[in-house]
Structure 1
Amino acid sequence: MLTFEQKKAIIETFPELTKKEISLKRLNYHFEDSLYEKTIVVEKLHPNGNGFVFVGDMPSYSDVAVKGLVNIRAFNEQALKEIIAKAVAYLSEDTTVEEQWEDAKGQKVTLLFEQRSWVVYFEGNFEEAFGTYEDAVRYLKDDGFDKK
């Protein structure tokens, strides 16, 4: 397990992050150029080595806490660098993912990931929005749609 000082040194290799001291000698690291309201990438880095990194709803992290945070207490150097890089990319890219879905009647819908929401469009018109990909897929499958 990395020490507080080691984690701090790794985090500070990301020039786009700004350190802010908070209570109990803990540190937050902000990404001020975030495209979203959320700017804290590393949250509550504590002298005991505990801390969190914001990953939102990135599908590659299954151990996410309620607020989209992953505990980095046991992370090694490579894992810490990787998660911080992904978090910065997540907050700085207006990523759009698009999928086509079709039902047995040949009706087509589009599922788009836009601005952190999964949105279903039918014939170009807004149909429904979801907070997670899983909820959107469940909705589409319940209505008889399959991914094409």
Structure 2
Amino acid sequence: MLTFEEKEAIIQEFTQLTRKEVSMKRVNYHYEASLYEKTTVIYHLHPNGNGFVYVGDLPQYEEANDKGLLNIRDASADELRKLIKDSIAYLSTEEEELLDEEVEEEWKNKEDSKLTLLQEDTLWNIYHGYNLEESFGSYEEAKSYLLEEGFRLAGKK
């Protein structure tokens, strides 16, 4: 495990971060050029080596808590650098750029009923005509639902 001093030395390699002391000898580092209200990259780095990096809802960090924070207590130097780079990239990228191109797919079942899978903002919505049938947080969840309900992507068997 890296010490507090070693972690601080790595964090300070990122000159775009601003150090701010908080309570109980903890330190936060902010990315002031963030495109969002959220500017904290390093949250509550403590002298005991514990702390967090904000990774939002980046899919490669499933271990992050519901606030988008990932614990760095046992992070290696390379892992910490990658986390910080990813956090800064996340905070400096327009939300639309984070999403893939908008998706609209038609799905059919054996009775020739049609449903439309449409990506809207961060949701994957399934429509029957103009009526919203279901809504999911990821393409994979929506696809699984459609397959379980007996639908196949139109044009595929």
Give the TM interval when normalised to the shorter protein.
0.7 to 0.9
**Structure 2 vs 1, CA of residues 134 and 67 (structure 1 numbering), >3 Å: closer, same or farther?**
farther
1:110 corresponds to which letter in structure 2?
L
Say whether residues 1:111 and 2:119 are aligned partners: yes
Q: CA deviation at 1:38?
A: 1.0
Identity %: 43
Distance 1:42 1:145 in 2: 45
2:53 corresponds to which letter in structure 1?
V
Distance 1:37 1:60 in 2: 23
Distance 1:147 1:85 in 2: 38
Distance 1:145 1:18 in 2: 51
2:104 corresponds to which letter in structure 1?
Q
Aligned to 1:17: 17
Do the aligned residues in 2 keep the contact of 1:101 with 1:145 (CA within 8 Å)? no
Give 3-state SS (helix, strand or coil) of 2:75's partner: coil
Give 3-state SS (helix, strand or coil) of 2:29's partner: strand
Of the structure 1 ranges 136-145 and 47-56, higher mean CA displacement relative to structure 2 is found in: 136-145
Q: How many residues align?
A: 142
Q: CA deviation at 1:133?
A: 2.3
1:35 corresponds to which letter in structure 2?
L
Do the aligned residues in 2 keep the contact of 1:129 with 1:136 (CA within 8 Å)? no
Q: CA deviation at 1:100?
A: 3.5
Q: CA deviation at 1:96?
A: 2.8
Do the aligned residues in 1 keep the contact of 2:126 with 2:135 (CA within 8 Å)? no
Q: Can you give the 5+ residue segments of structure 1 that lack an aligned partner in the other structure? A: none
**Structure 2 vs 1, CA of residues 134 and 45 (structure 1 numbering), >3 Å: closer, same or farther?**
farther
Task: Report the aligned-residue RMSD.
Answer: 3.0
Do the aligned residues in 2 keep the contact of 1:41 with 1:84 (CA within 8 Å)? yes
Aligned to 1:137: 142
TM-score of the superposition, structure 1-length normalised? Answer: 0.78
Aligned to 1:50: 50
**Structure 2 vs 1, CA of residues 66 and 107 (structure 1 numbering), >3 Å: closer, same or farther?**
closer
Q: Which has the larger radius of gyration?
A: 2
Of 77, 102, 105, the match for 2:106: 102
Distance 1:146 1:15 in 2: 51
Give 3-state SS (helix, strand or coil) of 2:6's partner: helix
Distance 2:74 2:107 in 1: 45
